[in-house]
A and B are shown apart, each in its own frame.
Chain A
Amino acid sequence: QKEVEQDPGPLSVPEGAIVSLNCTYSNSAFQYFMWYRQYSRKGPELLMYTYSSGNKEDGRFTAQVDKSSKYISLFIRDSQPSDSATYLCAMSASSSASKIIFGSGTRLSIRP
């Protein structure tokens, strides 16, 4: 079993819809949780960074962590075609960047 599981998609939704992207994990020691957005032929771009459980909101994006279920989510409200990208979750037990485990990414397409 992989430490981090992420549905590869592709996920296609109409413009304006609410998008829910999810990851599950097996290591209960993970405390740092991240979401990256990666456009085609570009490097990953950090979207959200959270520590421990709870919600964090930034504009149209909300990151949610449920440590009891070992489940994290990224919600995108009022989705736009420019949100079309691959979204990678990542997590770590320590603040050391060398210990970050990435999901394989979910490919998202927003239809105009």
Chain B
Amino acid sequence: SAVISQKPSRDICQRGTSLTIQCQVDSQVTMMFWYRQQPGQSLTLIATANQGSEATYESGFVIDKFPISRPNLTFSTLTVSNMSPEDSSIYLCSVVSGASNEQYFGPGTRLTVT
């Protein structure tokens, strides 16, 4: 399994500002993912963070709103830009274990936009 940490664990932000969330993994992984989990709803994949290339975004999510960086095989950031109250959610990063193809999640970042 992989050990994943996220920073910050939670934040309260004002409308119109941006927040960058960091995800650190204790081993090198090829695939990293960013999810959103809204209260009472299932996890929704935002994008796949690719090392050395642009992130791949899912339908409904765009790079201008959720820019992603992946500078190396153990680290990624997700920025939530120009925030509105609708962006209030838990943001999770996850990785896939290359050996088992099993997916592991970080503890999440709880974002509240006022």
Contacts and interface: CB of A to CB of B under 8 A. Distances in A.
A42 interface: yes
Contacts of B108: 41-43
Interface string B53-78: 00010000000000000000000000
A13 interface: no
A13 B36 CA distance: 30
Contact of A46 (B33, B42, B43, B102): B102
Contacts of B48: 98
A43 B45 contact: no
B104 A104 contact: no
Contacts of B31: 97-98
A104 B108 CA distance: 17
Contacts of A103: 42
B-side interface size class: 20 to 34
B40 A8 contact: yes
A110 interface: no
A88 interface: yes
Contacts of A34: 102-103
Contacts of B110: 41
A95 interface: yes
B33 A97 contact: yes
A75 interface: no
Interface of A: 4, 6, 8, 34, 36, 41-46, 49, 88, 95, 97-98, 100-105
Given A34-B102, A98-B56, 5 more contacts: A41-B110, A88-B42, A95-B101, A98-B48, A101-B42
Interface of B: 1, 4, 31, 33, 40-43, 45, 48, 56, 92, 94, 96, 100-108, 110
10 contacts: A4-B42, A34-B103, A41-B108, A43-B106, A44-B43, A44-B92, A44-B105, A45-B105, A97-B96, A104-B41
Of all A-B residue pairs in the complex, the 5 with the closest CB atoms, nearest first, are A43-B105, A102-B42, A104-B42, A97-B96, A102-B43
